[in-house]
Structure formats: C-alpha cells, structure tokens
Amino acid sequence: MSVEERLPAPAGLLLDRSKKISFRFQDKQYEAWQGDSIASALAASGQWILSRSFKYHRPRGILSMAGQDANALVQLPSDPNTLADVTPVSDQLAVVAQNFKGSLEHDKHAWIGRFSRFMPAGFYYKAFFRPKGVWEKIWAPIIRSRAGLGVVDTNYTSGYFDKQYAFTDVAVIGAGPAGLSAALAAANGGASVLLVDENRLLGGSLTYARLAGAADAAARHREQLVSAVGAHANITVMCESMCNGWFTDNWLAVIKGSRLYKVRAKEVIVCSGSMEQPAIFRNNDLPGIMLGSAAQRLIKWYAVRPGRQAVVLTGNSHGYGVALDLLDAGVRVAAVVDMRAEPTADALSRAIADRGVRIITGSAIYEAVPDASKNHVVAVEVRGISARGRCADHGERIPCDLVCMSPGYTPAYQLICHAGGRVAYDDATSMFTLEGLPQHMHMAGSVTGMYVHESVCAEGRYAGRAALQSLGLSTEDIEPAPVRGLSDRVNFDWPIFAHPAGKEFVDFDEDLQIHDIIVSTLDGYEDIQLVKRYTTVGMGPSQGRHSALATARIVADATGRTVAETGVTTARPPFAPERIAHNAGRSFYPERHSAMHHRHLEAGAQMLIAGAWLRPAFYGEKGQRDQCMAREALNVRQNVGLVDVSTLGGIEVRGPDAAELLQRIYTFRFAKQAVGRCRYAVMANEQGVVIDDGVACRLHEQLYYVTATTGGVDRVYQSMLRWNAQWRLNVDIANVTSTWCGVNIAGPKSREVLRRLCTDVDLSSQAFPYMGVQEGHVAEIPARIMRVGFVGELGYEIHVPQHYGEYLWDRLMEVGVEYGIQPFGIEAQRLLRLEKGHIIIGQDTDAMSFPAEVNLDWAVAKEKPFFVGNRAIQEVNTRGLTRKLAGFVIEDANAPCPQESHLVLDGDRMTGRVTSCYVSPTLGKTIGMAFVAPEQAQPGSTVTIKSTNGRLVEAKIVKLPFYDPDNKRQEM
C-alpha cells in the first residue's frame, strides 16, 4: 500500500500528510508520512514482521501499538531496543530488525521452536551443568550468541542531557478522559496542575477507542476536554513525557526527550489507565494477531488498514467497538467471537448485529493457523467453550489475515505500587484492583476499573476535588465518587486455552507458554516471586505488562489458591527503560574559583580539584610537574614566591565567650593568648582523632579569626555551631571563607616586597614577630596580615576582602618583579611544608590518628578542664603508641621515589605506610613522612619501604624537620 492509499481523515490523527518521507528497514526502502511510527509505516506497506522472538526465533509483529511489548523492539544505528510501534520515523532513518540469523523472513534459528518441549521453564538449571565445566565451555557461548537483543554502538557519541526541577500543586499522570477531567477540576479550584502524558496527543483512549453512539463521539468528547485544558492558565501540559517513577513525598521522575524533570507535587492523581491483554491460545503470537486497541490505534492514529479480513475475539463490549472501527475502515469482519455465553446486549453489539456481522457467543479461538511460510495468520479455529479454559473437540476454521483480541485489561498499577499501593484481585469482575494508596495520592479512570466514559470523567473530577481538599483549597463537600457498574466489567474471567501442541504464549518477551508456568509450580516454585525467577516470566523488556494477569491466574489455578492470594511481583521504578545519560547527564555540583583564578590560568597553571575549589597545582606544561615544582620551590627558598590561599577556611568567633569557645573546640590553650598574636589550632573529634588544623588569630579581646583547611572548614564550622547549640556560650560564629581571599607571600625577600605596598604596619621583626597578626593596608586595601610559616621561610599571609583579590595579586607581582617574585602552586607548597616537617591533615593523618601519633602532643593543653576529645586522648595516651609518624630520607639517589601509601616493612611484617614523599631540590635527596612502628621511629634507625613494582628501598629515619631545624629562616 503506498502512502496515498491510507485511510481518509479523520483517520491518521498523528500524520502530517504534507510531508512524505522515506526510510530503510532491513535492506528495503519504505515510504511514510511525517508522524508515522516505524511500525505503522511498515504495516501500511505490508511488512508485518518486526522481530524474531527471544528464545524460539518466532516471527513477531505488532501486538500493542502502545510501546508495551518487546515484539516491536528494533535496532536504530546508535539505539538498540527501540520501540518501533511508538518511535516516530524520520527521513532517511536506517532501521534493522533484531534477534534473527539469516533473514527476518527465514530465520535459520527458527528450528529451535520445534524443540521447545525439551526446553521447559527451568531447563537452564537442569540441563547445562553436567558434566562439570560444560556450561562455561560449550553451552554459554552458544546461548550467548543466540540470546540478547540489540547491539550497542560503542562509538556512539552522547548528546546533551540535563535535569530540571519542577514544582506543582497537583501532578496528573495520564491525560485520558479521567486525567483531563481531574486536571480541569483541580485547576478550576485554583491549584497549579502539571499534566503528564507519554503520548504525542492528549486524550488517552479518546484518541482511538470507540464509544457508544455516533462514530465520532470519542473525538467530540476529546475536543471538549482538550480545548478546556489548553485554555486553562493553571495547567501545564507535558506530552511525550514518561513519568518513570514515584519516590517518597510525591517526587516524580519525568523524562521528556533528553531532560529528566524532578517533579515535586503536593498531590498526585494517577490516571495511568489500563493495558489491554492478549488472549492465550495456540499461535497467539503470529503476526496479524494483535490487541483490539492496537488495530484501533493503527486506524485512528496512522490511517493504516490493519488487514483485509478480521476475526475479533472478545470478552467485553469493547471488541464490538473494534469490529465497528474495522468495518468503517473497510476491513471485512468475518466474525466476532464472544467468549461470554450470554453477553449483555448494548449499543455497540446491537450496531454490529445491525451491520450483519456474524456473532459467535460462548466460543473462543482454539488455535491460529499460519501461512505456509509460518509468517502470518491465515485462519483461526473457533470452538465452543465447554468448560473454563477448555474447548469443544471440534470447531470451525475461519479464514482471516487479522485477529483482534479484546479479552480484558490490567490497570497500569506501576506508579501506585512504587508509592506502596497494593494489587488485589476482584473475583466478581476478574480484575486487578488497587488499594492502600498513600496520603496525597489519588487515582481515577480505568486504572481503578472504571470504563464507562461518563463515570470515568466523574471519577476524574472527584479526584481533582479530593486533591483540592487535601491542599486546603476547597472545603465544600464533594459529590460521592462514582461506583463501578455492570458496564464497567471488561475482563473475561479465563481467556486461557491450553492446546496439546502448546505454543500458547503467556509471555511474548520470554517465549513462555502455559506449560512453562505450570512446570514451575510442579517443580515447587509456587510463590509468584519464585515463578518469576524460575521461568523469567515478566522479566523481559515489557516487565509483565501483558503477562502478569495471565500468570497470576495460571499460578493460582495450578496451586489451588485465589488470584488475590497469588498476587503479582513487585513493581519498581523505572516504569519504562531510561538512558543512563538521563541519570548521569549534567549534574549540579558547584565549582569554586578564587578571586585570582584568571591570573593562574594566564600564568599557565595546571589546576587541580580540592573539594569544590580549583587550585593551581603548578605553573607550566602538563608533563613538567616535577621541574616546575622544583623551580617554584627553590625560588621561595632563594627569593620570594606568591601562593593563592583563598581556599583556606575562615571563621570569625566574636563575643565575650570567644576565647572560651576556642578553648573547648581546639586542643591548645587560647584563654591567655594576647591580642595581635596567632596560635596553631588543632581540632580533634570526640574520639580524640585529629580532624583539622589552622591558625587562631586574636584580633581583639572578643574577636578571633580562625583559619581551617580547605576541605574541612564547613565541617569545622558546623561542629562549632553544634557544640555551641549545647553549651549556649555568648558568641557569634560566622563562616567568612568566601568573604575573604588571601595570598601567602613567602621567601627571604618577602618583607622587602610587602614593605613596598604596606606603609601603615611596622613590618620589622621586633614590631611584627613570627606568629604575629596585624590589621592594616596592603596596596591601600584593608588587610589582615599574619606572619605564619607553613613553608618554612619568612612569610606573610595577607587576607583581604575577596573582591580585591585580583588587584592584590597584580600589585604584589608587579612590585615583586625586581625581587624575582614567582607564583608557586599547591605542589610546591606541599613540598616546602614537607621539608619543614609540617603535616597536612587528611594526608599525613587518617581516621585513627590521635595527636601523639602525629607529633602534635605539644599542641594539646592537658590542664584544661575540657576540650572536645580530651577524655579519649587521655585514654589512648595511657595505652602507649602503636605507630608514629616519622620523617625519613633515602640516601640512594638511584632508588625510586616511594608514593603515598607504599608499605613500610620490618622484615616480613607491615608496620606502616608512607604518607608524603618528594624529591627535595633544596636538600638534594628524597624525603618523606611515614607511619612506622614506635620502635622504628627513633632517628637513625632504618626501615624498608616496598616501593613501585615491589622494589625494596632502604630509608633512614631522621629527626623532623628536614629543613632549618632552628627556625632561623621563618623567624628572620
């Protein structure tokens, strides 16, 4: 059929008949209208086979036309497992089928189906494990080459994926008649409403199903509801959007295109509808056999005539609606086979009778008959139902190329189950029902088992008003919810007809037949969860959407329980497959830059990540780390260097109890610290472990400015706040890290450089000694200047308000030129401090390090009545050391430089590990620090380090620091 031969409008709702496009499937070219799905365009051209089945390689075609079955999975160039029935075809798209060998029409593996009776459920577990080793060597390679679906394109370049937050009073999931009515009711009451639907068109079943009365009744209802929704200012509509999961407190994951919406709704109304189910009879998987609603979608959405001669198998009035739509589309309807013995007559069935269609009641399709190539249905064997699930011995063969199945529905219960709702079964109506919805979740429409149009809309309105009440936007009494009536009964109780030759498929994804499910129960796996795992029923791509109901019925029957007792397996998010990119795509991690960031980049810095910050590692070419580090370090030792220390934490503690708070928070003593002096401050946790360090500067009797490590400041700040929440000292604690930025100017010439820019502070050694702090101006910027010596040279930390940072940097670099000033990075700083024997918390300490182990016992004030960690430190100090941090040098110039965490050995015994190690350009040898056994820590003793590639290196323990032990350099 060429595209011009499609059915006339109003059929073809999704088509744009002004744009003809062309695409490839396998090695043939096909035409389509813009708006066609891959499957609809293929069906229109007579190509009914879309794939081969997973296990028996049977030909498979359209089943649901709603993206709910694995038959429709095809391969796109960079997208495996694409749903052909819902994916729009694009011009020049190249589509291939999946899971076949040879050609799609003549699959060389189709012979496997003939052996299906030797491959019952669980045969994996029984057949392939003897003799030993046979699985890995023989069976696994064979099975793996035959199983599996699409092919991943490993050269695939990912597109742009991101995330967005959305907030709404009411989220309505599903825009069928119930969802549209619910959205309108909630929006009319003043709530903001987000209406989410997976389809391209609003209207749900109204876009394809047949209502009683005029042929266009559904279209007219749809038009009314959709135009009201479109005109409503309070309603935001999201089409082609999949609500893939409900998470606690109404957090919904909604995927639209390449964006994941994180929706927070105060109320959720689930109007997800229901999914039509297949009937189960021999060869029910043949191409040409589809759900009634699939045929209606082909007609109404795509203007495709689904066949020439049809048999409709039904258990409800919807099948008659399907038959009417088929007749209107020019399909001959050979018979409507109604499984009900005495169906109640209604408008639809009377219309069918009036049009002269043969109605066969109390009968079922016993078997579908394939053509010679076994690729399409050519007839069905219709037999009377003699007992539940049993057919008479003889019947009638009716030729047809289309079979429509309308035996009933399963509610789309997944979202409700994510939220803790439970699936029950109503024996009177043979339907799954839902109960136990959490607060702030409502449901309406066919998901509740409501099918009569007026009741569905009424239930939607009721849910909308219930949401308004829950939001406090309405206090008026609401009319009672509509109740299900006889006309809402849509499920035939037992549309399952076993055949002696089998091939009655319960699960199309996994090629499971009635017998397979029963075998599982006979093998002792009676629980529905075990049946699932033993048979793999419901584990395929369609996740039981068309197999859960039949499986529950069959297991219930085989185990003598009710369907309600048997239940269904757990439904977990995601509802539909989602791309890893949706979750992994752009994330919200912040990145912090200091005020001097651009100057570092301009100077050619290689940046490293420190927490959220980017810091200059060294200045120079990527591969030149060691040379750059050495050059920068030597310049600090010989001239003067400048390092950005803006990332250091800054906390201001202000108030009458400022000193008292520090006394309690830090291990050292601060009460008598003089104004204008700095003190080293070590912080322990309650377990006595060293967790941070910094410098406490007393700027005023009642004001301390305390620095903290880059990565630790938030923790330090929170710890102070938490402790003071309990102590209630009279202090104000403020994290001023981002208020201030800073540099450390260090080296023998640093005083001379600083003097050029700082005239209101006496920088002489007498007036401004080591560990002094002064407030003044540098380059006319108000500054806090601390004389500290992390790198072991004369040096000043200059902290200024952060927006002056770049200016400060520029002025210092400018006046420093004649003194040989150079910037130095974090790597050089780490080397310099190692030479000076200073530890870095977190590098030279771990989660067990108490002060004495890392040579900080001098910084612990033992006479204080209390500080955080004091009791634990007292306890561990009575037990003696089990390890100690010690300095080492490696004299052998040819030995490889050990890396952090290389092991320290004493013979065969591991006694510690290296924490820091560098080649020191100043000292001309490799130096480092390591945890060693206490008996190894004595200067002069020798330890063995297991270095790179297991090479054993001798190291000599030395007294710290390595450089300038008399502190002459930093105190000059």
52 forms bridges with which residues in the sheet? 59
Q: Locate tokens 């400041």: which residue?
A: 713
Smallest gap from residue 257 Cβ to other proteins (A): 22
Smallest gap from residue 571 Cβ to other proteins (A): 19
Count of residues near other proteins by CB under 8 A: 33
Q: Note whether 112 binds other proteins by CB under 8 A.
A: no
Q: Note whether 565 binds other proteins by CB under 8 A.
A: no
> Exposed, middle or buried by CB within 10 Å (0-12, 13-18, 19+), for 258?
middle
Which residues lie closer than 8 Å to 790 by C-beta, 6 or more apart? 744, 829, 832, 833, 836, 838
Nearer to other proteins, 145 or 730 (CB): 730
Nearer to other proteins, 125 or 247 (CB): 247
Nearer to other proteins, 93 or 417 (CB): 417
In the chain, % helix, strand, coil (3-state, to 5) comes to 30, 30, 40
Q: Note whether 669 binds other proteins by CB under 8 A.
A: yes
Q: Note whether 780 binds other proteins by CB under 8 A.
A: no
Nearer to other proteins, 388 or 572 (CB): 572
Smallest gap from residue 863 Cβ to other proteins (A): 6
Cis peptide before 10 (omega within 30 of 0): yes
Q: Note whether 472 binds other proteins by CB under 8 A.
A: no
Query: Given the rule CB under 8 A, which of 472-480, 723-731, 754-762, 821-829 is the region that contacts other proteins?
Result: 723-731
Query: Given the rule CB under 8 A, which of 106-114, 471-479, 661-669, 834-842 is the region that contacts other proteins?
Result: 661-669
Cis peptide before 370 (omega within 30 of 0): no
SS3 (DSSP) at 784: strand
With CB under 8 A as the contact rule, the residue among 114, 132, 394, 728 that binds other proteins is: 728
Query: Given the rule CB under 8 A, which of 19-27, 235-243, 504-512, 665-673 is the region that contacts other proteins?
Result: 665-673
Q: Note whether 249 binds other proteins by CB under 8 A.
A: yes
Q: Note whether 879 binds other proteins by CB under 8 A.
A: no
Nearer to other proteins, 1 or 734 (CB): 734
Query: Given the rule CB under 8 A, which of 198-206, 524-532, 635-643, 663-671 is the region that contacts other proteins?
Result: 663-671
d(CA 728, CA 865): 17
Are the CB atoms for 280 and 291 separated by under 8 Å?
Answer: no
Q: Locate tokens 């710290």: which residue?
A: 960
Region class of 472: left (phi > 0), else alpha (psi between -120 and 50), else beta: left
Q: Note whether 508 binds other proteins by CB under 8 A.
A: no
Q: Note whether 883 binds other proteins by CB under 8 A.
A: no
Nearer to other proteins, 119 or 729 (CB): 729
Smallest gap from residue 181 Cβ to other proteins (A): 29
With CB under 8 A as the contact rule, the residue among 726, 894, 901, 949 that binds other proteins is: 726
Which residues lie closer than 8 Å to 925 by C-beta, 6 or more apart? 889, 890, 891, 893, 919
Smallest gap from residue 649 Cβ to other proteins (A): 12
Q: Note whether 248 binds other proteins by CB under 8 A.
A: yes
Q: Note whether 215 binds other proteins by CB under 8 A.
A: no
With CB under 8 A as the contact rule, the residue among 717, 824, 918, 962 that binds other proteins is: 717
d(CA 865, CA 679): 20
Instruction: Report how far apart, in Å, the C-alpha atoms of 209 and of each of 141, 219, 335, 484 are.
Output: 47, 9, 20, 20
With CB under 8 A as the contact rule, the residue among 16, 621, 780, 875 that binds other proteins is: 875
Q: Note whether 848 binds other proteins by CB under 8 A.
A: no
Q: Note whether 866 binds other proteins by CB under 8 A.
A: yes
With CB under 8 A as the contact rule, the residue among 234, 687, 877, 944 that binds other proteins is: 687
With CB under 8 A as the contact rule, the residue among 664, 784, 787, 811 that binds other proteins is: 664
Nearer to other proteins, 513 or 663 (CB): 663
Q: Note whether 167 binds other proteins by CB under 8 A.
A: no
Stated length of the chain: 972
Nearer to other proteins, 253 or 298 (CB): 253
Q: Which contiguous run of DSSP H or E holds residue 464?
A: helix 453-471
Nearer to other proteins, 17 or 440 (CB): 440
With CB under 8 A as the contact rule, the residue among 9, 152, 215, 671 that binds other proteins is: 671
Query: Given the rule CB under 8 A, which of 104-112, 154-162, 564-572, 667-675 is the region that contacts other proteins?
Result: 667-675
Nearer to other proteins, 635 or 737 (CB): 737
Q: Note whether 858 binds other proteins by CB under 8 A.
A: no
Smallest gap from residue 485 Cβ to other proteins (A): 37
Are the CB atoms for 202 and 226 separated by under 8 Å?
Answer: yes
Smallest gap from residue 249 Cβ to other proteins (A): 4
Q: In 3D, which of 917, 911, 913 has the Cα closest to residue 889? A: 917
Which residues lie closer than 8 Å to 775 by C-beta, 6 or more apart? 699, 761, 782, 783, 784, 785
Nearer to other proteins, 583 or 687 (CB): 687
Smallest gap from residue 876 Cβ to other proteins (A): 11
Q: Note whether 247 binds other proteins by CB under 8 A.
A: yes
Q: Note whether 246 binds other proteins by CB under 8 A.
A: no
Which residues lie closer than 8 Å to 111 by C-beta, 6 or more apart? none
Smallest gap from residue 413 Cβ to other proteins (A): 22
Q: Note whether 654 binds other proteins by CB under 8 A.
A: no
Query: Given the rule CB under 8 A, which of 601-609, 867-875, 902-910, 930-938 is the region that contacts other proteins?
Result: 867-875
With CB under 8 A as the contact rule, the residue among 663, 822, 849, 911 that binds other proteins is: 663
Smallest gap from residue 436 Cβ to other proteins (A): 14
User: Which ranges of 567-697 would DSSP assign to H, the alpha helix?
Assistant: 580-584, 597-602, 625-638, 658-665
Instruction: Report how far apart, in Å, the C-alpha atoms of 236 and of each of 168, 169, 170, 568, 850 are.
Output: 9, 11, 10, 34, 58
First to last CA, the chain: 95
Q: Which contiguous run of DSSP H or E holds residue 551?
A: helix 548-559
Query: Given the rule CB under 8 A, which of 127-135, 381-389, 711-719, 806-814 is the region that contacts other proteins?
Result: 711-719
Q: Which two tokens stand for residue 57?
A: 């390689």
Q: Note whether 729 binds other proteins by CB under 8 A.
A: yes
Smallest gap from residue 505 Cβ to other proteins (A): 39
Nearer to other proteins, 109 or 163 (CB): 163
Which residues lie closer than 8 Å to 662 by C-beta, 6 or more apart? 653, 670, 681, 696, 704, 706
Burial 8-27 (b: 16+ CB within 10 A, else e): eeebbbbbeeeeebebebbe
Q: Note whether 675 binds other proteins by CB under 8 A.
A: no
Q: In 3D, which of 914, 773, 913 has the Cα closest to residue 834? A: 914
Q: Note whether 428 binds other proteins by CB under 8 A.
A: no
What is the identity of the amino acid at 569? T
Q: Note whether 861 binds other proteins by CB under 8 A.
A: yes
d(CA 344, CA 360): 14
Q: Locate tokens 């990332």: which residue?
A: 647
> Exposed, middle or buried by CB within 10 Å (0-12, 13-18, 19+), for 386?
exposed
d(CA 763, CA 567): 82
- Binding residues (CB under 8 A) for other proteins: these are 247-249, 251, 262, 264, 663-664, 669, 671-672, 686-687, 714, 717-718, 721-722, 725-729, 735, 861, 863-866, 870-872, 875
